Structure 1
Amino acid sequence: MDTARPRRLRTFLIAALAAVAAILVAVPYARNRESLTLDDAARKQAPGQFVRLSHGMVHYRVAGPADGAPVVLVHGFSVPDYAFDATRSALAGAGFRAISFDLYGRGWSDRPDVRYDRDLFAGELGELMDALHLQKARLVGLSMGGAVVGHFAAAHPERVQRLVLVAPFNQPRDIGVMAWPGVGEWLARSWFLPDLASSQTEDFPHPEKLPGWSARFEPQMRYDGFGRAILSTIRNTTTQSSIPDFEAVGRAKIPVELVWGERDTTVPYAEHALVQQAIPQARFVSLTGLGHMTVVEDPDAVNPHLVSFLREN
C-alpha cells in the first residue's frame, strides 16, 4: 500500500493552514497606521490649548469674546473638533464664547485604555466645563455628540441653559461580530479602520464639494490607541439607545433645538420623530437637500438657526 501520497497531502494541508494563519495574523499589523505616540512633542503641532482631566490630556479651542455666553460644541463618532470650525467661527462672530474639544481617543486628545461609553464622554464634558469655570453653558451635540450632551443634560439639567441636537444618535445599532472578543479586534484592524478615513465622505450627498475632507481625518489615525478607542466606542456607545436620556431632557423642560438634514442616511432622517416624541418641547429644523454633517456641508444653512436659538433667553 502506498502511504506516501496521504502523507504528502497531510503535509500540504498543514502548510496551507499555516500559511493562511500567518496571513491572518499579518494583515492587521500590515494595515495598522498607529506608528506614533501622542506626547508633548506631538501636541506642539496642534492648534488651541490643552487641559489635563481625569483620563488624560484634552485638546480644546476657544473663539469669541471672553465675556460672551459660553457654548460648548461636542463632535460625533470619529471626526474631531474641526467638524465645528465654521460653527465655532459663526458663534464667535455672533458674540458667543464658542468652545470645541476632542473627545477622548480622537484628534489631539489622549487615548486612555478605558471603556468608551456615554459616561466617559459626558464626564469629559463636565470636567472640561469645570476646568474652564463654566457652571452652566449652552451645548451643541453633533451625531454621537448629541447622545453625549443628552446623557450629560439628563444627569445635570441645572448645568444646561439650552441644547442643540444636530442629527443626534438615538437608536442602538447591531454591530454583529464586531462585539466578539478577538474577532472584533481583527476586523477593526484589517477592514474597518483602514477604510475609516475614506468612508467619511459617505456623510455627504455631494462629497465632491468637500475635497480633502478624508485626508484631513488621517493624522489622528497615526497615534497609538486610536483604533482601540474607536472599537470600544462601537461596542459600548453605539449599541445603546439615547431615548431614555432624551426623555429625561424632555421632563426637565430644557429648551431644545433639533436640526436634521433630510438626506441623512448615517443617522436616518426618519428618526427625528423618535427624538421629537422624547423631547416634546424641541423646536425642529429640517434642512432640505443636506445629509448628516450639515454643519460642514452648508454652514450658512445651519448657523443662523443655531445663533437665533442660542440667543433666546
Structure 2
Amino acid sequence: MPYITVNQKRLHYADSNPAAEGQTYVFIHGLGSSQNYYGAVLPHLTPSTNRCIAIDTYGSGRSHYTGLEQSIDSIAQDIVKVMDALKVPKAVLVGHSMGGTVVLHLAARYPTRVVALVTIGPVHPTASTGQIFEKRIQIVSEDGMEPIANSVPRAATGSGSTPLQRAFIRELILGQSPEGYVSLCHVVSEATAPDYAAVKAPLLIIAGDEDKSAPLEGCKHILAHASSSTKTLEILQGVGHWHCIEASDEHVDTEYARWFNEQKITSSYYAFVGRR
C-alpha cells in the first residue's frame, strides 16, 4: 500500500497512472469517508490517459490519527505537499463535503496549483454547522462510531438510495477511528468560509436536491460569491449527501461535457453528473 509522509503525517493514497500524459485529478473525500468514496466513478475517467490520485486525509481511512491538531488550512497544505512529492504542478481538484470546503480554500490560497474545481455537496460553514458537529463529537466520544454509522446512511441519503449503497456508507463510517473522526468533526465545527471571491478557477458544484448536510442554499451561496468566470451548479434529483455512491453509474451529460471541453478538461469528467 502506498504511503507518503508530509507535515509529520503518514497519508495513504492511490495513484492510478503516474505516467499518464493526460489530465491529473486529485480527490479529497469528506468526513467519515475515505478514498474509496470515489471508487465507482474513477473508472469513468479514462484511466489509460488520465492520472487519478485519491488521498485518505489525516485521521481518515488508512491515514491513522496520531494526535496532531488540524484545520481546513492544514488539510489543504497536506494536499499541496502530496502534489509536490508526486511531482504534480497543478491538477483538477475534486472535493466532497468537507473536502469541498478544503479544495475551495486551497484554490483561494494556492491558485496556481488548480486547473479547475469540482465540489460535490460542499459544506458552507455557518454557526449552525458548528452546533451540529459538537453533538457528534459528544456521541462519538462516549459511544464510538456505531451510533453514527447506524444513523447517517439513512438520514444523509436521498430517496433514490439503495440498501447496498447505505450498507457501503455504513462500512465507510465504521472504518474510521473515533479519535480521527472527532478531530475532523472539530475541523468542520471550527471552520470558517473560504475566501470564495479569491476562487477564480473554473468551478462545478454538484448538489443533491435532497441533501440535508450541505443544503442547496449553501451551494448557491458558494456559486454566487466565487469569482470564477465559468461556474456551474448541477443538481442531482433524488440524491442526498453521498452523491458519488448514490448516483455513480449514470450517463454522461453531453451539454456539460462540452462545458468541460471548453475548459480543456476531459469530457469524461461528467461521469459525476448523474441524473438530470
Is TM > 0.5 for Structure 1 vs Structure 2? yes
1:1-313 to structure 2, matched below 5 A, reads 48-64=1-17, 66-93=20-47, 95-172=49-126, 173-175=129-131, 178=134, 187-191=139-143, 193-201=145-153, 202-205=155-158, 206-210=161-165, 212-217=167-172, 220-221=175-176, 226-242=177-193, 244-249=194-199, 253-279=200-226, 281=229, 282-301=231-250, 310-311=260-261, 312-313=263-264
Deviation at 1:236, TM superposition (A): 3.2
Q: Distance in 2 between matches of 1:247 and 1:302?
A: 32
Cα 1:256–1:186 shift into 2, 3 Å: closer
**Contact 2:22–2:49 (Cα < 8 Å) also in 1:** yes
Q: Deviations over 1:275-301 (max 9, x none)?
A: 111125421111122111111111134
Q: Deviations over 1:24-83 (max 9, x none)?
A: xxxxxxxxxxxxxxxxxxxxxxxx521122222111112246222100011011111100
**Contact 1:167–1:267 (Cα < 8 Å) also in 2:** yes
**Contact 2:23–2:51 (Cα < 8 Å) also in 1:** yes
Q: Distance in 2 between matches of 1:294 and 1:209?
A: 14
Q: Deviations over 1:98-129 (max 9, x none)?
A: 11110000001131312221122111101110
- 1:193 partner amino acid: M
Cα 1:114–1:309 shift into 2, 3 Å: farther
Q: Distance in 2 between matches of 1:307 and 1:295?
A: 18
- 1:90 partner amino acid: H
Report how many aligned residue pairs link the two structures: 254
- 1:271 partner amino acid: G
Provide the secondary structure at the position in 2 that maps to 1:258: strand
**Contact 1:62–1:97 (Cα < 8 Å) also in 2:** yes
Between Structure 1 and Structure 2, the one with more helix by share is 1
Q: Extract unaligned runs of 5+ from structure 2.
A: 265-276
Q: Distance in 1 between matches of 2:170 and 2:221?
A: 34
Q: Which has the larger radius of gyration?
A: 1
Cα 1:68–1:158 shift into 2, 3 Å: same
Q: Extract unaligned runs of 5+ from structure 1.
A: 1-47
Of 210-219 and 140-149, more deviation after overlay is shown by: 210-219
Q: Distance in 2 between matches of 1:278 and 1:302?
A: 30
Deviation at 1:211, TM superposition (A): 5.4
Q: Distance in 2 between matches of 1:302 and 1:114?
A: 42
- 1:217 partner amino acid: L
* Percent identical residues: 24
Cα 1:49–1:303 shift into 2, 3 Å: farther
Cα 1:308–1:200 shift into 2, 3 Å: farther
Provide the secondary structure at the position in 2 that maps to 1:196: helix
**Contact 1:71–1:138 (Cα < 8 Å) also in 2:** yes
Cα 1:140–1:114 shift into 2, 3 Å: same
Deviation at 1:310, TM superposition (A): 4.9
**Contact 1:258–1:285 (Cα < 8 Å) also in 2:** yes
**Contact 1:263–1:288 (Cα < 8 Å) also in 2:** yes
**Contact 1:175–1:234 (Cα < 8 Å) also in 2:** no
Cα 1:239–1:303 shift into 2, 3 Å: farther
Q: Deviations over 1:121-159 (max 9, x none)?
A: 111101110111001111011111001111111110011
**Contact 1:163–1:257 (Cα < 8 Å) also in 2:** yes
Provide the secondary structure at the position in 2 that maps to 1:140: strand
RMSD (Å) for aligned C-alpha atoms: 2.6
**Contact 2:133–2:189 (Cα < 8 Å) also in 1:** no
Q: Distance in 2 between matches of 1:192 and 1:163?
A: 34
